[in-house]
Amino acid sequence: MIEEFEGKLIQVRASGIADLLKVVTEQFRIHCNIVNLVNDKYGKIPEDKILVQENLDVKTQAIVSQVFTAMIIEAFYFDYYHGKKSKSKAEEWSKQSPVKQFSSLAKEFWNIENVEEIELYKQLTDLNKVRKRWVHNQSTQFGKYAKDLNYLSADGCVEFLRSFFCFVDEQDPSYKAANLISDHLSALQFSVKGYNGL
């Protein structure tokens, strides 16, 4: 947790979010390098089997990014609730699903009533399904989750996190880490890809 004290930002608690972010940003860089290699070599995206044969598949980076993106958001939930209430209350509160935690924060602290109508809520629901699928090794029908590896690619996860923390910053500017994280991810996107969608 980062707080502003006498005009300076100081860290008052360690949440581990920075370490988790390093994992996602590393996957993002690998993903972008592979995309550039494929583009240089083929000028287009070839068939999946060719990508796999040449070790140019980005699925591994997507899986790691999806799981760690979910972990970052869950670490944020705990850190945020801990800062607003207490550690013991946060430990009890965090036993509910990540999607319910978002709803709880949105209603209790950000005065958002129709949480389920927010696009971010729908995206968090998708992320939670994907995380559960990987973490609990849930089997699914082939082709059912094609959307997940595109929308939540390593690149997509960085964009998702940037949007998530921009949203948090808009709801509660006093949570300084949200602005720092979204700015960091925006700068990362710009340095690696040359644009950040803003």
pLDDT tens column, 31-45: 999 988 888 888 877
**pLDDT tens digits along 83-106:** 899 989 999 999 999 999 999 999
SS (H, E, C) 69-135: HHHHHHHHHHHHHHHHCCHHHHHHHCCCCHHHHHHHHHHHCCCCCCHHHCHHHHHHHHHHHHHHHHH
Helix (H) or strand (E) run with residue 5 in it:
strand 2-5
Helix (H) or strand (E) run with residue 4 in it:
strand 2-5
Give yes or no for residue 143 having a pLDDT over 60: no
